[in-house]
Amino acid sequence: MGFVSNGMNNLPVGLAAGTALAADAWLRPVDNAVLIGVDLGPNLSVTGSLATILWLIALRRDNAEITTWEFLKTGAIIMPVSLVLTLLMLR
Nearest to 51 by CA among 38, 64, 63, 62: 38
How many other CB atoms sit within 10 Å of the CB of residue 49? 21
> Residue 62: what pLDDT?
93
Compute the residue count for the chain.
Answer: 91
Span 56-65, pLDDT tens digits: 889 889 999 8
Span 39-56, pLDDT tens digits: 777 777 777 778 888 888
| DSSP H helices in 1-91 | 2-8, 10-22, 28-40, 50-61, 68-89
- Residue 86 CA to residue 10 CA, distance in Å, equals 18
